[in-house]
């Protein structure tokens, strides 16, 4: 049976990238690279074979217009499915309204299966392959993406690369004593290695979740939990973890997801003796993710969550020859916009803009008013932080009720939601491309 033009193009992309992909796997895994390469290649082939025909047509269209996401008319919303519509089916009914708002991009907050109620706003994922039953089914998600595409709206979902929920099947197997799945995480019998990490690795939430490790009584081991005790860090030193994660990404892409916001990406590789931030291996993994997507589903783009100083950002775009993320959140500009609004002083904003504009041309940022996450007050002076917060919480709340696109300006973030479960969540937030 003759192969279709789409299949032939896929074969060509595989052939073009196979050598680099094997080299990158060898950098990480040495003698284990050959097996990982075989497994990953088979995954890519099966994922492309399973990709729906309409998405393959979209791939072909986007290959002819690779910078489609950089258009000046890109305008998006971030929203919680349950707060905006109730569930995915009801959200599909509201697509005409979203199109009326001139949206071209919709970012739905985490909707994959999660434990309840302790889930960090959905960022503690229990199953990377399945929609949370409270919001619908995988079939509902596929139907929604099809409806959105017909309306000219691309769907973005978060993909949490750094950790799983402690109730994920891998974590449950680890707790039951399975050494295979204990090697999916960082598990230690005593404090020897954890103490070595803690000596140099900063705490993410020192006030609410101090320490980088959590004792698991069932397993009688210490587990690396960089964020919260119920979020177990994945061990990418194990190639099976990488292949499993990529399998889930490709599965979601085949449901019609067009943009992946990769969560907490600077943290994903851990190495003793380092601060476990922005390590070279992180870029190796992101580069591999980019290659895999370009081979299997080239219409899909990566948006990185990199909450770091401007000097750290350029590396996450890779190079024009070997690209990584397609775009990053413009975190510092969002913070300094609110600072300038409150203080009437644009000097800090200008300084940040100058630093970002000095980055290479391949650096492309999403400019946004607010998202679900924190305003990074630590990036500004104490006096500016105080004046901005005061202005932000009085004048803005008085002006905008806690509904619609400005709702995220009035609520606690997902990080705090674990401790303040009764706090209202934003329905949606607004952004546009650079």
**Catalytic residue list:** 263, 305
The DSSP call for residue 304 is E
Token reading at 258: 């067009």
Alpha helices by DSSP H, listed for 221-363, are 239-253, 280-296, 310-313, 331-343, 347-357
Structure tokens at 58: 């979209």
Q: CA nearest 253: which of 302, 305, 310, 198?
A: 302
**Tokens encoding 52:** 């729906």
CA distances from 115 to 194, 320, 372, 417 (A): 26, 40, 19, 14
Closest CA to 414 of 225, 208, 168, 203: 208
**Phi-psi bin for 280: left (phi > 0), alpha (psi -120 to 50), beta?**
alpha
The span from the CA of 316 to the CA of 287, in Å, is: 9
Q: How far is Cα 127 from Cα 146, in angstroms, rounded to an integer?
A: 23
Q: Which helix (H) or strand (E) holds 75?
A: strand 75-79
Q: How many CB atoms lie within 10 A of CB 388?
A: 23
User: What radius of gyration, in Å, describes the C-alpha atoms of the chain?
Assistant: 21
> Cβ contacts of residue 366 below 8 Å, gap of 6+?
76, 303, 327, 328, 329, 330, 431, 432, 433, 434
Alpha helices (H) in 254-303, listed in sequence order = 280-296
CB-based contact 174:187 (threshold 8 Å): yes
Which two structure tokens, joined as six digits, stand for 409?
A: 């300006």
Q: Within 10 Å of residue 72's Cβ, how many Cβ atoms?
A: 8
CA atoms lying within 13 Å on the CB side of residue 362 = 15
């Amino acid at each position: 049976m003759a192969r279709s033009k789409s299949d032939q193009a896929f074969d060509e992309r595989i052939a073009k990238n196979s050598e680099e992909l094997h080299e990158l796997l060898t950098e990480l895994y040495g003698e284990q690279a050959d097996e990982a390469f075989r497994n990953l290649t088979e995954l890519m082939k099966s994922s492309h074979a399973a990709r729906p025909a309409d998405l393959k047509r979209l791939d072909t269209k986007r290959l002819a217009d690779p910078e489609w996401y950089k258009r000046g008319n890109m305008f998006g919303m971030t929203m919680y499915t349950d707060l905006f519509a109730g569930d995915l089916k009801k959200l599909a009914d509201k697509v005409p309204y979203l199109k009326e708002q001139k949206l071209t991009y919709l970012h739905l907050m985490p909707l994959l299966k999660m434990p309840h109620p302790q889930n960090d706003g959905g960022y503690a994922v229990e199953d990377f392959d399945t929609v949370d039953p409270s919001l619908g089914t995988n079939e509902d998600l596929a139907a929604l993406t099809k409806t959105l595409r017909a309306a000219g709206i691309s769907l973005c979902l978060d993909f949490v690369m750094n950790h799983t929920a402690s109730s994920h099947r891998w974590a449950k197997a680890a707790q039951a004593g399975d050494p295979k799945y204990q090697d999916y995480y960082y598990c230690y019998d005593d404090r020897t290695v954890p103490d070595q990490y803690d000596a140099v690795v900063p705490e993410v939430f020192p006030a609410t979740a101090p320490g980088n490790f959590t004792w698991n009584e069932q397993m009688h081991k210490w587990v690396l939990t960089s964020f919260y005790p119920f979020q177990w860090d994945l061990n990418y030193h194990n190639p099976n973890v990488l292949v499993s994660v990529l399998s889930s990404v490709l599965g979601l892409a085949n449901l019609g997801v067009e943009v992946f916001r990769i969560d907490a990406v600077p943290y994903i590789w851990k190495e003793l003796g380092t601060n476990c931030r922005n390590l070279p291996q992180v870029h190796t993994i992101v580069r591999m993710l980019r290659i895999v997507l370009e081979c299997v589903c080239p219409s899909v783009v990566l948006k990185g969550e990199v909450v770091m100083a401007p000097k750290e950002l350029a590396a996450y775009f890779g190079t024009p020859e070997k690209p990584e993320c397609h775009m990053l959140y413009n975190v510092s500009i969002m913070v300094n916009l609110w600072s300038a609004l409150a203080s009437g002083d644009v000097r800090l904003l200008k300084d940040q803009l100058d630093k970002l504009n000095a980055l290479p041309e391949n650096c492309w940022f999403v400019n946004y008013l607010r998202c679900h996450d924190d305003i990074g007050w630590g990036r500004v002076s104490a006096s500016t932080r105080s004046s901005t917060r005061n202005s932000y919480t009085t004048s803005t709340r008085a002006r905008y009720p806690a509904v619609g696109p400005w709702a995220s300006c009035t609520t606690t973030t997902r990080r705090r939601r674990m401790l303040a479960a009764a706090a209202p969540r934003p329905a949606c937030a607004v952004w546009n491309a650079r």
